[in-house]
Amino acid sequence: MATERFEKKQARWWSSLVWPVSGLALLLLFDLCFTDGFFKLEVRDGHLYGVLIDILNHGSKVMLLALGMTLVIATGGVDLSVGAVMAIAGAVAARLINTTNVSFPVVIGVTLAVAIAAGCWNGLLVGAFRIQPIVATLILMVAGRGVAMLITDGQIITFTEPWLTYIGNGHLLGLPFPVWLSGGMLLITALLTRRTALGLFIESVGDNQTASTYAGVNSSTVKFFVYVFSGFCAGLAGLVAASNIKCADSNHAGLFLELDAILAVVVGGTLLTGGRFYLVGAMVGALFIQTLTTTMYMRNVSADIAPVPKALAILVVCLLQSPKVRTKFSGLLKRRGS
Amino acid sequence: MKFPLASRYLPLLATALVLAGLYVAGCVSFDNFSSLRVAVNLIGDNGFLGIAAIGATFVILSGGIDLSVGAVVAFTSILIASLVEDHSVNPLAAIAAALIVGSLFGAAMGSLIQWFELPPFLVTLAGMFLARGVGFMIHPQSHGIQNDFFLQTVSERLSLPLNNRVSFPFTGTCFVVMFVLATFVAHYTRFGRYIYALGGDEQSARLMGLPVARTKVLIYALSGFCSALAGVVYTFYTQSGDPASCVGLELDAIAAVVIGGTLLSGGVGFLAGTVMGVLILGLIQTLITFKGDLNSWWTRIVAGMLVFLFILLQNVISSASKRLRG
Amino acid sequence: RAAEKKIVVGFSQIGAESGWRTANTESIKAEAAKRGIELKFADAQQKQENQIKALRSFVAQGVDVIAFSPVVETGWEWVLREIKRAGIPVVLSDRAVAVTDDSLYVTFIGADFVEEGRRAGRWLAKASDGKAVIAELVGTPGSAPAIDRKKGFTEVIGQYPGMKIVKSQSGDFTRAKGKEVMESFLKSPDAKQITALFAHNDDMALGAIQAMEEAGVKPGKDILIVSIDGVHGAFEAMAAGKLNCTVECNPLIGPQLFDAVDAILAKKKLPKRTQVIEGVFEQSQAAAELPNRKY
Amino acid sequence: METEPKALLEIRGLVKGFPGVKALQGVDFIVRRSEIHALMGENGAGKSTLIKVLTGVYPRDGGTMRLEGVEINPRSPKMAEALGISTVYQEVNLIPHLSVAENICLGRQPTFFGMIRWREMARRAERALRRVDLKLDVSQSVASCSIAVQQLVAIARALDVSEKLLVLDEPTSSLDEKEVGELFAVLRKLRGQGTGIVIVTHFLDQVYAISDRITVLRDGKLVGEFETARLPRLKLVSHMVGREITQPEGSARGAEAGEADVKAEPLLEIKNFGRAGSVTAMDLSVARGELVGLAGLLGSGRTETARLIFGIDKAQTGEMRVDGRRTSFHSPRQAIRAGFAFTPENRKVEGILPRMSVRENIVLALQARQGLGQMISRKRQLELADEFIRRLGISTPGPEQAVGNLSGGNQQKVLLARWLVTQPRLLILDEPTRGIDVGAKAEIEKTMQELRAQGMAILFISSELEEVVRACERVVVLRDRAKVGELAGDGISEEKIMHMIAEHGHGH
Ligand SMILES: Nc1ncnc2c1ncn2[C@@H]1O[C@H](COP(=O)(O)OP(=O)(O)OP(=O)(O)O)[C@@H](O)[C@H]1O
Ligand SMILES: Nc1ncnc2c1ncn2[C@@H]1O[C@H](COP(=O)(O)OP(=O)(O)OP(=O)(O)O)[C@@H](O)[C@H]1O
Ligand SMILES: [Mg+2]
Ligand SMILES: [Mg+2]
């Protein structure tokens, strides 16, 4: 077996990040040149204040969702119910906090428990009953918002409890709390998947379910877990969303955010067919989407034609990610260089 | 001698059984549910969704996905409305133009997917945004059509009277004709079989010497055509164009396809299943309307639960019959 | 025999997208229950196609009167003709329809969105002495209230050379979007000039108020805020001095609607259009009006 | 008409590289008319790559290709087919959910004004299958056929496509002797009609039985072209591995076979084990340190037996005892926890995780058994991977290469490594030598004997009777999904097995 020995090429975790990051960088560069005030940062009331901070702050909802969604997509599934679960979480929290004698930790505990229960429901349908993920989670997507409205009676429920409003509006060490929350969750998810064998199992189920089952991976349990985790992440995102506007708006909380979360994951380099997943990539994807949205606000692009520039931006990122385009491009560069 | 019905038709049979069960349940619980009008409405009202779902079936069978469906329907409707009303184009010419634009749009997405190896999800999502945005550029709000072709010909003359009170609307006719044509394409043309092959195993399909590239581009073109046709039917149905309409229609279409037994991973499924999926979604809506005392949130919860019940029964029936046959 | 039968009314609602809409639905339901009328309620979830399906299903069920709040203005010709052929009278609520033949419906009960926009414009012109740099929070793109309210508002401020809209962006009628968009307005270079905000509904205004407070801008003082709807939260904000004016858009049309139904069944003649009674409320009236707000 | 045999296919200086791998480095390859030409080389030598470049699956980096003197440049298998090159690729490449008939006729369905004639298609498929002597219901889906049947279907398809140049990449890797015989008869007939045939196989017997010429590749380079009749076996092997070779000794069945007097109680014992539609009333036992073979013809139920034991399918009748205790497995996981291991025969569908690295593929089963928490450290993973890459001679640029990019034989070795690292008590090998080169095969046989000597129980399934006879101390013979007999010790011979299979009449 005398094939040439090549140096051990270890796939570094950041090597996959190059393309989503360059997409984001391109967009930021555009803003640097053409959007006034985009990069202005100042300190106000002891915390950072500026458009970039807003992007981090508002992007954190999709970032949280994308963490769970990444794992779900890595197993070859998809979770359409995250937006509805966000609405449920917000509704439960607002309802409870306005009830006398319920303390803040209990509110958080119950809210997250409800979100996890929603995840269990999805996990059960996909993992145990083997229903195709898209229909399985569609059920909760449709019914879940109804449940949230049932909880709030179709009304917007406002609250003023300081701890609950802190989650979406507070600042810690100069940065908005949601940024810390999503950063912390990223860390936890990364540890959970990379410091245990969970990541390996998830990727193996997504790459070839039959083969990994034969190798002893409990694919139903793995699937069950990722939906539960996704439910949990959606619960956190729901808390942030509700807290941010100090009310539970069951009709609109998380509406269409599942699409943004999936988009973030795919922009981050994870394939929809499952297998390898990139958590940090998904975070970059989420920031990309939020930057795009904010850019459009800042540039006063009218909302009805805003989808057009959005489409073009997605296509550019797509092309950046395409191996085919890349090889053609690098071929061109090489020819130039030589 | 083998049982003539191959096991691959089992899920289809299960779906049909549950659909029939749902219908019978409706007839038993509500007056007038068994009337001819309800059945006709079911087909006519869901015509455009059905046609869009047929397009989605082809894409999903090939292992892809098309998220642009709803936006293209909206885009087509406003394009036709604007052409006919603001530019006094002949309605038939406007329809033809819309169908061509839709097909080309699909083909463009297919080409991007094929030649640059981009994920269909992203490309068609971009397509969705693009179609939506351009629709708003054409006309920023809903736009009625006063042309006689739409007001009289389509809604009156082209509908088939069944009895003196109920007539079969042209939207339903379009749906049925499209279903027959699509079934023919899927099962009796080489192109149709390539779609299945592509979804079954793209790598193998390429190695078997099938024209993968051409097929893929054509599939998305076909889906674009179906979306555009759904848009045309939508304008027949509402006699107006609306750039904001049909948000999330793609999800309904995909749901109908998947409920009909088609695997989202591709390669397995039938158009008849999709049609049943569409009818199931429609039937669920009809049941809720007939119930009539649910408030907005219970409407959603009950709709979700009915889908769940349906999927569960479908699973139970098909796995039970599999066990029966060993 | 017919007298013994309970009257059945089919009502197709747009959806349940806001507290305003929910109040609208509740008012109709409560009134139906009060009068012993059987109400068939259908939620269209913002989709015209769902609404058409529901209307045709009402025909199949053979209801006595059909009422609905159309999602959009156009596209009702065919289904209304089918209803007419079935001999069922139609009442429109909240939003009008554009049809060639206005015998297709009996009467329209509801607000005039354009007029609401005008009122907001007039109030702002008066409050700012015809000089204002305005940021606008637009409703959902393509929706009738967004288009009409904008139309009415711009029509009025067009008469004042000192008033101009510098920022206009959709907040989708939601608090979250209203807040997010306002934040970006406040961070743009020309933020300092903004002296007034026109929001197409109260929810967006309430979100924007939060954004202003976080940015250290005093809502209601540094920036004048006018919005439309008159929901409970808006009155609270006005009482706290954070919102300056809300143009009422009254959702409680249940009694008027069923008066019309009764009149139709009694074969009385009705006007083509019934305006809902609505007012314009300022901060000074807020505290007094607050207890009367149920939605 | 017999002028000098002009070259049908002439490839000169072919170059092809992948990131980190130089798969072909200036290879010449010539096929004449009416010739069966064997392409030989170790796993990863570049055989499949040569074929894929020839048929336009991969673009080439350099070199020329001529067919009948005309320069060709196919950019897809479709174009290659149009040129008259018909190919069976190494991994079975069919569409699993479509029927056998469709798979055979896909792309060439008989039509009537553009409308597919299904009846005619079925007839045509049956006719094509008859050439490889296969009779089956052509309306059944390919996925429901065993891998051997799938291979035959793929061959039937290729035979049906074109008759100018036929390329077969390991067509016989999961066929039994009888099927191979049928196939060779067809190939000889085609050769008589002027077809040029390229065949890749790791079975030396088959090479000598059928080929006229041999081209040997090593590490992507051409070693030489030889006339089969003038190339002794040992010489061929030497060319392939690149050093002199002396005769490897025949019976691996060690001397200990004699001292197998009082074997320990059986590790695994199944009685009357079966499942409707799969296997009927199977009795079988394997003891520690015993190597038991399962022999039978294609479709005789060997794979199914293994699946039942490993808990993939659930048995409906009978009982299973492990260490004398009654057990039943509901999933492979339980079987693995009991110390079982199973390498499936269909590596593409049931074996490899194509987009994951060699390292991850190797540690997966061990990690799955250890559970979530006790993560094998990255360092240990690399050690394990390196160890097995060395031990089994897996040719890969490194442990981080995606397994899908390895050559077929090397993928098989990775699968074997996956189970060897778990150090199982019972190892079930279903066609483990499928697509593996001679050197590696000997290595695997040696490994099996070593493991057996260490007390591992092994259940060995192979279509190569010779291999079974050489390695096993007990052979269970299956026919028509039932056990028909058992041979032990010196009683094992190919003739006896064949006799047992044939005894009760023939046919499947
Ligand atoms: N798609 C690919 N990407 C990267 N490397 C590849 C790819 N395909 C093949 N290789 C490498 O090219 C070399 C030659 O592989 P090839 O499949 O041609 O071997 P082979 O001679 O057919 O071996 P086997 O007998 O095992 O089938 C191997 O080292 C393999 O790892
Ligand atoms: N996954 C499956 N689903 C349905 N039928 C199958 C499946 N696998 C195999 N069969 C059928 O069961 C029969 C026994 O196949 P099995 O694979 O056990 O035979 P085998 O002795 O291992 O032979 P082979 O050499 O073909 O692997 C075959 O006729 C095959 O068609
Ligand atoms: Mg090979
Ligand atoms: Mg087998």
Per residue in A256-287, pLDDT (tens digit) is 899 999 999 999 989 888 999 999 999 999 99
Q: What is the mean pLDDT of residues D29-34?
A: 92
Chains that touch D (3 or more CB pairs under 8 A): A, B
Does A212 contact D353 at a Cβ distance shorter than 8 Å? yes
Which residue did the predictor score with more confidence, C275 or D96? D96
Look at residues D398, D477, D302, D330 and name the one whose alpha carbon lies nearest to residue D18: D398
The predicted pLDDT at position D348 comes to: 86
Chains that touch C (3 or more CB pairs under 8 A): A, B
The predicted pLDDT at position A205 comes to: 95
B139 φ/ψ angles, rounded to the nearest 5 degrees: -160, 125
All residues at 6 or more sequence positions from A64 whose CB lies less than 8 Å from its CB, including other chains:
A181, A182, A185, A233, A234, A236, A237, A240
Residue D3 has pLDDT above 70, yes or no: no
Does D77 contact B204 at a Cβ distance shorter than 8 Å? no
Distance D18 CA to ligand 1 centre (A): 9
In eight-state DSSP terms, residue D402 is B
Look at residues A228, A229, A227, A251 and name the one whose alpha carbon lies nearest to residue A241: A251
SS3 label, residue D21: strand
Per residue in B83-138, pLDDT (tens digit) is 999 999 999 999 999 999 999 999 999 999 999 888 898 899 999 999 999 999 99
Which domains, from first to last, does chain B contain? 2-325 (1.10.3470)
Half-sphere exposure of D385 (CA within 13 A, CB side): 24
Task: Give the model's confidence band at A333: pLDDT under 50 very low, under 70 low, under 90 confident, else very high.
Answer: low
Place of tokens 């336009």: D56
Residues of chain D contacting residue A216, judged by C-beta atoms under 8 Å apart: 332-333, 336-337, 364-365, 368-369
Q: Is B184 exposed, middle or buried (0-12, 13-18, 19+ CB in 10 A)?
A: middle
D449/D454 Cα distance (integer angstroms): 9
Tell which one of D49, D53, D57 to mutate to probe ligand 1, the residue whose CB is within 8 A of the most ligand atoms: D49
**Helix (H) or strand (E) run with residue A227 in it:** helix A219-244
Task: Give the model's confidence band at A12: pLDDT under 50 very low, under 70 low, under 90 confident, else very high.
Answer: low
Percent of chain B at pLDDT above 70? Answer: 96
Q: What is the mean pLDDT of residues A156-173?
A: 90
D234 contacts D204 by C-beta, under 8 angstroms: no
Distances (CA, A) of D226 to D194, D231, D243, D425: 20, 7, 17, 45
Mean pLDDT, chain D, rounded, equals 87
Most B CBs within 10 A among C43, C79, C143, hence the mutation to make, goes to C43
The predicted pLDDT at position D241 comes to: 83
The predicted pLDDT at position C67 comes to: 94
Structure tokens at A111: 């809210």
Which residue did the predictor score with more confidence, D443 or B3? D443
Task: Give the model's confidence band at A316: pLDDT under 50 very low, under 70 low, under 90 confident, else very high.
Answer: confident
Residue A38 has pLDDT above 90, yes or no: no
What is the identity of the amino acid at B187?
Answer: H
Buried b vs exposed e over C142-170: b needs ≥16 C-beta within 10 Å?
A: bbbbbbbbbebbbebbeebeebebbbbbb
Place of tokens 């009749």: D229
Pairing of strands A157-158, A47-50: unpaired
**Helix (H) or strand (E) run with residue C56 in it:** helix C48-61
The predicted pLDDT at position A137 comes to: 94
Task: Give the model's confidence band at A13: pLDDT under 50 very low, under 70 low, under 90 confident, else very high.
Answer: low
Distance D301 CA to ligand 2 centre (A): 6
Structure tokens at D473: 């101390």
Residues of chain B contacting residue C29, judged by C-beta atoms under 8 Å apart: 295
User: Cβ of C183 under 8 Å from any chain A Cβ?
Assistant: yes
Per residue in C115-162, pLDDT (tens digit) is 999 999 999 999 999 899 999 999 988 888 898 999 999 999 999 999
Nearest chain D residue to A193 by CA: give it.
D372
The predicted pLDDT at position D439 comes to: 81
Per residue in D385-401, pLDDT (tens digit) is 999 999 888 888 889 99
Structure tokens at A168: 């979406």
Pure H helices in D392-437 = 408-420
Could you tell me how many residues make up chain A? 338
Q: In the beta sheet, which residues pair with residue D322? A: D268, D325
Longest pairwise C-alpha distance within chain D: 74
Verdict on whether the full-model pTM lies above 0.80: yes
- What is the per-residue DSSP string for D298-328? TTSSHHHHHHHHTTSSPP-EEEEEETTEEE-
Q: In the beta sheet, which residues pair with residue D70? A: D67
The predicted pLDDT at position B3 comes to: 41
D274 contacts D281 by C-beta, under 8 angstroms: yes
The ipTM, to two decimals, is 0.91
Structure tokens at C26: 């509740």
Look at residues A88, A226, A236 and name the one whose alpha carbon lies nearest to residue A168: A236
**Helix (H) or strand (E) run with residue B283 in it:** helix B271-291
Structure tokens at D1: 């008409």
Pairing of strands C224-229, C196-199: parallel
D346 contacts A228 by C-beta, under 8 angstroms: no
Task: Give the model's confidence band at A336: pLDDT under 50 very low, under 70 low, under 90 confident, else very high.
Answer: low
Does D370 contact A197 at a Cβ distance shorter than 8 Å? yes
C16 contacts A149 by C-beta, under 8 angstroms: yes
Q: What is the mean pLDDT of residues C270-288?
A: 82
Query: CA A52: distance to chain centroid?
Result: 18
Q: How many CB atoms lie within 10 A of CB B230?
A: 34
Per residue in D152-168, pLDDT (tens digit) is 999 999 988 877 899 99
Task: Give the model's confidence band at A4: pLDDT under 50 very low, under 70 low, under 90 confident, else very high.
Answer: very low
Distance D219 CA to ligand 3 centre (A): 13
The predicted pLDDT at position C31 comes to: 92
The predicted pLDDT at position D257 comes to: 43
What is the sign, positive or negative, of the torsion defined by CA atoms of A181, A186, A189, A194?
negative
D103 contacts D157 by C-beta, under 8 angstroms: yes
Task: Give the model's confidence band at B324: pLDDT under 50 very low, under 70 low, under 90 confident, else very high.
Answer: low
Which residue did the predictor score with more confidence, D479 or D459? D459
User: Cβ of D332 under 8 Å from any chain A Cβ?
Assistant: yes
D295/D288 Cα distance (integer angstroms): 20
The minimum-distance atom of ligand 1 relative to the CA of D217 is: 21
Give me the torsion for CA of D299, D301, D306, D309, rounded to 10°: 160
Distance from CA of B118 to the nearest CA of A (A): 6
Residue A234 has pLDDT above 50, yes or no: yes
Nearest chain B residue to C147 by CA: give it.
B141
Residue D71 has pLDDT above 60, yes or no: yes
Per residue in C16-72, pLDDT (tens digit) is 888 888 888 999 999 999 999 999 999 998 889 999 999 999 999 989 999 999 988
Residue D507 has pLDDT above 50, yes or no: no
Residue A9 has pLDDT above 50, yes or no: no
Per residue in A86-119, pLDDT (tens digit) is 999 999 999 999 988 889 999 999 999 999 999 9
Distance from CA of D380 to the nearest CA of B (A): 35
Query: CA C269: distance to chain centroid?
Result: 27
Per residue in B65-79, pLDDT (tens digit) is 999 999 999 999 999
D176/D182 Cα distance (integer angstroms): 10
Look at residues C30, C25, C56 and name the one whose alpha carbon lies nearest to residue C41: C25
D291/D470 Cα distance (integer angstroms): 11
Distance D52 CA to ligand 3 centre (A): 10
The predicted pLDDT at position D247 comes to: 55
Which domains, from first to last, does chain A contain? 19-38+45-322 (1.10.3470)
Per residue in B33-43, pLDDT (tens digit) is 999 999 999 99
Residue A2 has pLDDT above 50, yes or no: no
| Ligand 2 atom 1 nearest Cα | D144
- Angle, CA A93 vertex, CA C241 and CA A167 arms, to 5°: 70
Task: Give the model's confidence band at D2: pLDDT under 50 very low, under 70 low, under 90 confident, else very high.
Answer: very low
Tell which one of D97, D100, D146 to mutate to probe ligand 2, the residue whose CB is within 8 A of the most ligand atoms: D146
Does C43 contact B282 at a Cβ distance shorter than 8 Å? no
Q: Of the given ranges (A178-182, B57-61, C228-232), which has the lowest mean pLDDT?
A: C228-232
C278 contacts C253 by C-beta, under 8 angstroms: no
Does C175 contact A249 at a Cβ distance shorter than 8 Å? yes
Look at residues B208, B307, B272, B238 and name the one whose alpha carbon lies nearest to residue B81: B238
Structure tokens at A26: 């391109």
Pure H helices in D84-199 = 100-105, 118-131, 147-161, 177-192
C174/C18 Cα distance (integer angstroms): 8
D380/D370 Cα distance (integer angstroms): 14
Task: Give the model's confidence band at D255: pLDDT under 50 very low, under 70 low, under 90 confident, else very high.
Answer: very low
Residue A10 has pLDDT above 50, yes or no: no
The predicted pLDDT at position C16 comes to: 84
Q: Which ligand is nearest to the CA of D151?
A: 2
Task: Give the model's confidence band at B149: pLDDT under 50 very low, under 70 low, under 90 confident, else very high.
Answer: confident
Place of tokens 């959606």: A234
The residues of A whose Cβ lies within 8 A of any Cβ of C are 36-37, 40, 44-45, 49-51, 54, 58, 149, 153-156, 158, 169, 241, 244-247, 249, 251-253, 294, 297-298, 300, 302-304
The predicted pLDDT at position C289 comes to: 80
Structure tokens at D188: 């000889």
Task: Give the model's confidence band at D492: pLDDT under 50 very low, under 70 low, under 90 confident, else very high.
Answer: confident
| Ligand 1 atom 3 nearest Cα | D405
Per residue in B200-253, pLDDT (tens digit) is 999 999 999 999 999 999 999 999 999 999 999 999 998 899 999 999 899 999
Query: CA D14: distance to chain centroid?
Result: 27
The predicted pLDDT at position D32 comes to: 92
Structure tokens at A301: 């692009």
Residue D124 has pLDDT above 80, yes or no: yes
All residues at 6 or more sequence positions from D34 whose CB lies less than 8 Å from its CB, including other chains:
D5, D191, D192, D193, D194, D195, D196
All residues at 6 or more sequence positions from D491 whose CB lies less than 8 Å from its CB, including other chains:
none
Nearest chain A residue to C183 by CA: give it.
A54
SS3 label, residue A303: coil
The predicted pLDDT at position A277 comes to: 94
D121 contacts D115 by C-beta, under 8 angstroms: no
Residue A6 has pLDDT above 60, yes or no: no
Mean pLDDT, chain A, rounded, equals 89
C205/C231 Cα distance (integer angstroms): 11
Distances (CA, A) of D382 to A83, D171, D177, D368, D401: 41, 34, 40, 17, 12
Which one of A37, A244, A249 has the shortest CB-CB distance to C189? A37
Instruction: Please compute Rg for chain A using Cα positions.
Output: 21
Instruction: Please compute Rg for chain B using Cα positions.
Output: 20
Task: Give the model's confidence band at D263: pLDDT under 50 very low, under 70 low, under 90 confident, else very high.
Answer: low
Per residue in D158-194, pLDDT (tens digit) is 988 877 899 999 888 888 888 888 889 989 988 998 8
Residue B1 has pLDDT above 60, yes or no: no
Tell which one of D304, D463, D501 to mutate to probe ligand 2, the residue whose CB is within 8 A of the most ligand atoms: D304
